[in-house]
Amino acid sequence: MYEFEFTRPASVAEAVAALSTEDAQALGGGQTLIPTLKQRLAMPTTLVSLSGVAEMQGIRLEGDGPLVIGGAVTHAQVASGAGAYPALAALAGQIGDPAVRNRGTIGGSLANNDPAACYPAAALGSGATIVTNIRELAADDYFQGMFTTALEEGEIVVAVKFPIPDAANYQKFVQPASRFAMVGVFVARFADGVRVAVTGASEEGVFRWAEAEAALTANFTPDAISTLTVDADGMIGDIHGTKAYRAHLVNVMTRRAVSASA
Ligand X SMILES: Cc1cc2nc3c(=O)[nH]c(=O)nc-3n(C[C@H](O)[C@H](O)[C@H](O)COP(=O)(O)OP(=O)(O)OC[C@H]3O[C@@H](n4cnc5c(N)ncnc54)[C@H](O)[C@@H]3O)c2cc1C
Which residues are at the interface with ligand X (CB under 6 A)?
25-33, 50, 71, 75, 95-96, 100, 104-105, 107-109, 111-112, 117-119, 156-157, 178-180
Q: Cβ of residue 217: shortest distance to ligand X, in angstroms?
A: 27
User: Is residue 89 within 8 Å of residue 79, measured between CB atoms?
Assistant: yes
The least CB distance from residue 65 to ligand X, in Å, is 22
CA-wise closest residue to 166 among 219, 87, 251: 87
Residue 211 or 238: the one with the smaller Cβ distance to ligand X is 238
Biggest CA–CA distance in the chain, Å, is 57
**Closer residue to ligand X (CB): 63 or 176:** 176
Closest-approach residue to ligand X (CB): 108
Q: CA dihedral in degrees (64, 211, 258, 249; nearest 10)?
A: -130
CA-wise closest residue to 172 among 109, 223, 121, 137:
121
Give the dihedral of Cα atoms 129, 132, 135, 138; nearest 10 deg.
Answer: -20
Task: Provide, rounded to whole angstroms, the least separation between the CB of residue 155 and ligand X.
Answer: 7
Report the residue number, 27 or 224, with the smaller CB distance to ligand X.
27
Q: CB-wise, 79 or 117, nearer to ligand X?
A: 117
Q: Give the three-class secondary structure for 138.
A: strand
- Give residue 191's identity as a one-letter amino acid code: A
Compute the least distance from the CB of residue 229 to ligand X, in Å.
Answer: 25
* Distance of closest approach, residue 132 Cβ to ligand X, in angstroms: 7
Q: Which is nearer to ligand X, 50 or 215 (CB)?
A: 50
Q: Tell me the C-alpha distance between 47 and 137, whole Å.
A: 25
